[in-house]
Amino acid sequence: MSWYLYRLRAHRPDFAQTMTEAETATMMAHVEYWRGPSRDGRVLIYSPVADPAHSWGMAIVQADSDAELEELRAGDPAHLADVGEIDWLLLPMPVVAGVAAPTHTR
């Protein structure tokens, strides 16, 4: 298992401040969706990021492969509604609570 930064970058820089009702509903479904992987222990944390330059959110996700990450993305309501671009980056040597977590490289 490896840890990844799963990142959702909204299509509009001010998305968090200007969401339509439909976008707000999508984002609420997005938050609810991530509760499942979080309960399963596959997600360490997920949150919007207070970046004044551009709206984005993140999750720290544990996965075995890009295919597993793609499966998570495929079910994400934010992806399905195309509110932004989603990518993920390998965290090659994460430290969790002061302990280095083993990780695999691609």
Per the domain annotation, does 28 fall within a domain? yes
Stated length of the chain: 106
pLDDT in tens, 59-71: 999 999 999 999 9
Residue 98 pLDDT class (50, 70, 90 cuts): low
Q: Which structural domain, as residue segments, surrounds residue 86?
A: 2-94
In angstroms, rounded to a whole number, what is the distance separating the alpha carbons of residues 14 and 26? 16
The model's pTM: 0.84
Looking at the structure of the chain, the number of domains it has is: 1
For residue 49, what is the domain's CATH number? 3.30.70.1060
Per the domain annotation, does 105 fall within a domain? no
Per the domain annotation, does 99 fall within a domain? no
Per the domain annotation, does 101 fall within a domain? no
Q: Residue with structure tokens 């222990």?
A: 41
Per the domain annotation, does 61 fall within a domain? yes
Per the domain annotation, does 106 fall within a domain? no
